[in-house]
Amino acid sequence: MALVDTFGARARRQLLGSVPVTVGLVILGALIAVCALAYWIAPYNPTRAVGGINEPPSLAHLFGTTGQGQDVLSQFLYGGQNTLWVAFTIAVLTTLIALVVALTSAYFRGWADDTLTLVTNVFLVIPGLPLVVVLAAFLPPGSFTIIIVLTLTGWAFGARLFRSQALTLREREFIAAAEDVGESRWRIVAIELLPNMGSVVAAYFVNQVIFAITAQASLEFLGLGNGGQVTWGTMLFWAQNTSALIRGAWWTFVVPGMAIALTAFSLALINNAVDELGNPRLRADRLLRRAGIRKSSASLMTPVKRND
């Protein structure tokens, strides 16, 4: 019931109705689609030298070739597959861990909550990137290492976010009502708490995908990935290693960079709308405009929306 109210039809109408979200969804959908179809639409084998060195974009090689004569378009398509699945895996794992930690905190309270909060805070305060670099340097390079390392270091902020959200919700009357009726704690957590955290969890998940894509690319760019595997990050690594920019082969550099940026940008567009769902004041402008009210003073009342 609570789920339908906060995250159901109304939310969906609002999400799909706004222009930025549509743009974000279209870009993301297109990127995922072409990468998923890489096997059928990629013109060449991405790891094989199929042309000259650093050939500029032409009809034979739409995005040019790399410093090792590989086709950049094919690398972009296959690399996207690897990059995206790793990023989504990390986002799913970190969101799940954060949820489990936060809900366990909210469920057991007391010393279990204190301990988990302490662990979370320790993870938050230890600087992430140096730890990631050291861990990645010790483990064998590859997607698996990147997933492990970024999951281990990436869940703590979510746990804190979800816990504070769960604590706020716990103070609300409907939770007290459920307790009074004698519902079990697990039931309260699963049926009352969790659904009401929908928009926060969704926003966090989208943010985690962005974090994972850029962090993964950064690690691979630093040479901590598997250089033999084609991903957007290793494409940048090789471009840098063959001094692509200084030799004027901007396409080997700009293509993977733009691919990462477009993915992150489309996700950020989607995320902003998810944010607005949870914050009515940010939504106020659009509602006011729709109601025909032109803002005349700097301060602003929060409009009350008629529930239709």
Partner 1 sequence: MYYVLKRLAFYLLAAFVAITVNFFIPRLTPGDPASTIVATYSTSMNEESLQALKAAYGLTDEPLLQQYVHYLGNILKGDFGRSLSQFPAPVLSVISAGIGWSALLGLTAVLLSFVIGSALGALAAWRRGGFFDRVAPPVLLFLGSFPYFFLALLLFYLFCFKLGWFPMGNAYSSVNPPPFTLSGIGDVVFHLLMPAFTIVLVSLGPWTLNMRNAMIGVLSEDYLTLAEAKGLKPHRVLFDHAVRTALLPNITALGAAIGGVLSGQLLTEIVFTYPGLGYALMRAVSAVDYPLMQALFLVITLAVLAANFLVDTVYVFLDPRVRSGREA
Which range in 60-68, 91-99, 129-137, 192-200 contacts partner 1 by CB under 8 A? 129-137
Determine, following the binding rule CB under 8 A, whether residue 272 of this chain makes contact with partner 1: yes
Which range in 39-47, 91-99, 125-133, 184-192 contacts partner 1 by CB under 8 A? 125-133
Contacts of 78 (CB under 8 A, 6+ apart): 35, 38, 42, 46, 230
- Mask: binding to partner 1, 242-261, rule CB under 8 A, as x and -? ---xx------x---x--xx
Give the Cα separation of 230 and 82 in Å (integer). 7
Contacts of 141 (CB under 8 A, 6+ apart): 224, 225, 226, 227
Contact 234, 251 (CB under 8 A): no
Cβ closest to partner 1, residue 140 vs residue 182: 140
Quick count: other Cβ atoms within 10 Å of Cβ 130? 9
Cβ closest to partner 1, residue 110 vs residue 182: 110
Cβ closest to partner 1, residue 12 vs residue 295: 295
Q: Least distance from C-beta 279 to partner 1, angstroms?
A: 8
The residue within the footprint of partner 1, chosen from 110, 180, 228, 299 (CB under 8 A), is 299
Determine, following the binding rule CB under 8 A, whether residue 19 of this chain makes contact with partner 1: no
121 alpha-carbon distance from chain centroid: 22
Cβ closest to partner 1, residue 11 vs residue 28: 28
Token duo for residue 208? 């985690």
Q: Least distance from C-beta 131 to partner 1, angstroms?
A: 6
- Mask: binding to partner 1, 153-192, rule CB under 8 A, as x and -? ----------------------------------------
The residue within the footprint of partner 1, chosen from 112, 122, 177, 293 (CB under 8 A), is 122
Phi, psi of 262 (to 5 degrees): -65, -45
Contact 271, 206 (CB under 8 A): yes
- Mask: binding to partner 1, 49-88, rule CB under 8 A, as x and -? ----------------------------------------
- Mask: binding to partner 1, 208-227, rule CB under 8 A, as x and -? --x---x--xx--xxxx---
The residue within the footprint of partner 1, chosen from 137, 177, 190, 293 (CB under 8 A), is 137
Q: How many residues bind partner 1 (CB under 8 A)?
A: 53
Q: Least distance from C-beta 253 to partner 1, angstroms?
A: 7
- Residue whose tokens read 């902003």: 272
Cβ closest to partner 1, residue 93 vs residue 260: 260
Residues binding partner 1 (CB under 8 A): 20, 118, 121-122, 125-131, 133-135, 137-140, 210, 214, 217-218, 221-224, 236, 240, 245-246, 253, 257, 260-265, 268-269, 272, 279, 281-282, 284-285, 295, 297-302
